[in-house]
Amino acid sequence: MQYYSTNQKAPIADLQKAVVKGLAEDRGLYMPERINKLPKAFFDNMPSMRFQDIAYNVADAFFGEDVDSDCLKDLVYDTLSFDCPVVKVKENIYSLELFHGPTLAFKDVGARFMARLLQYFIRLEQEGKKPQTSNQVNVLVATSGDTGSAVANGFLGVDGIHVYVLYPKGKVSPIQECQFTTLGQNITAVEVDGVFDDCQRLVKSAFMDEELNKHMRLTSANSINVARFLPQAFYYFNAVAQTSNLKPQTSNIVMCVPSGNFGNICAALYGHEMGLPVKRFIAANNANDVFYNYLQTGRYEPKPSVQTLANAMDVGDPSNFARIINLYSNNGKLTPEETHERITSLISGATYSDEQIRETMRQCYEETGYILDPHGACGYRALQEQLQPGEVGIFCETAHPAKFKEKVDDILGIDVEVPERLQAFMKGEKQSVAMTSDFAGFKAFLMEQ
């Protein structure tokens, strides 16, 4: 499989280069040259298959040409050491619980897979099977909340890899912060005086800096990396398999994805191109409504992000928008108007204020006893408002409510139990490097490493 850049000005890359570089030379995002359809027999058998077996079939369609089949199976099975169950919340609305991994957030799937795939390529280099360009790989990741903890824990202790987690000062929850600032070892937390978009800009600027890239080998673990976002398709196939016995039939499934940087819904859309039987999708936003506005107007107008209750979605210029446009424009062959029409025929949007999120969390808890986190609340509310007769709605519950304990306790008037895994993080000592949002300072810091 070859990978091209969404900006179409960079050389074609193989999987190893796409994963190790993360971002193409022209600042574009890598896209697989084709999306392989999965056979009918796979979908017929899917309801009786285990999660890991479903995921391996999906992974093989993406990566099978470039990763030894036994190694790929090991990668997938080791990644998915936990379940992603579908839980009924109310009639025809189900929660896809993506918080059963090590850091209790959906990004555990993509981060764990990428860590293992990157280590696979490093080992090939060490064995002399691939050209080695330098020793240590340095992973740069910007986080608005859960990405940092998932990536940091996915790569913790992995030989040959050092991770730098950039996060906006005072704009992630205390528990989220504990999950990547207390680890030490090969993890460095960088506390940026700014917003998530500043962190993302610093990471992208680092990739484009020639001097810095000569000094150290850089890659990204954000959803801009193909090895981070593509594996997230695994749990959408598994969700459809789990709901295969529902009435109405699975052909009427509506998948609702709380969206920030749009890697998660992008993976679902790739799954749809592979044949995933989902009728349509909803991208649920908080007050950061850039994509919602695009759906209404056909114009993409990025703007500074605003801080909200659902902080992991506080993104004003979502990176993966470029992938969605590229996918539905047939790599630029369709006009903007034709592309917009294709997108809106499959995807609708929603945007909610903090007060609407609070209201939804209270209503859901009072009516069903189900505890939503602020991000899942956006997905749940969008299904309540947009689900049509005969449809079954599945929304992504992207993080455990305890990761936002202060907010959830205050809104619902309860005491959310903190799982032991989270309690362990909270006992550690914070270690972070303070940084301005100026690239020169960040570059100087990295040059000293």
What are the residue numbers of the active site?
107
Query: What's the DSSP call for residue 13?
Result: B
* CB contact set of 234 (below 8 Å; sequence gap of 6+): 51, 54, 55, 58, 59, 76, 80, 109
CA–CA distance, 390 with 82 (Å, rounded to integer): 32
CA–CA distance, 25 with 318 (Å, rounded to integer): 19
* CB contact set of 97 (below 8 Å; sequence gap of 6+): 84, 85, 86, 87, 397
**Please, what sign has the CA dihedral across residues 7, 111, 145, 200?**
negative
Residue 63 Cα distances to 76, 168, 181, 265, 267, angstroms: 11, 34, 33, 20, 14
Helix (H) or strand (E) holding 194: none
CA–CA distance, 188 with 180 (Å, rounded to integer): 8
Do residues 101 and 109 lie in contact, with contact meaning Cβ atoms separated by under 8 Å? Answer: yes
CA–CA distance, 171 with 403 (Å, rounded to integer): 14
DSSP string, 257-269: EE-SSSHHHHHHH
DSSP string, 380-392: HHHHHHH--TT-E
Chain centre distance of CA 33: 21
Q: How many CA atoms lie within 13 A of 59 on its CB side?
A: 32
Do residues 95 and 86 lie in contact, with contact meaning Cβ atoms separated by under 8 Å? Answer: yes
Which pair of structure tokens corresponds to residue 277? Answer: 């039987």
Residue 134 Cα distances to 131, 137, 216, angstroms: 9, 8, 8
CA–CA distance, 163 with 180 (Å, rounded to integer): 10
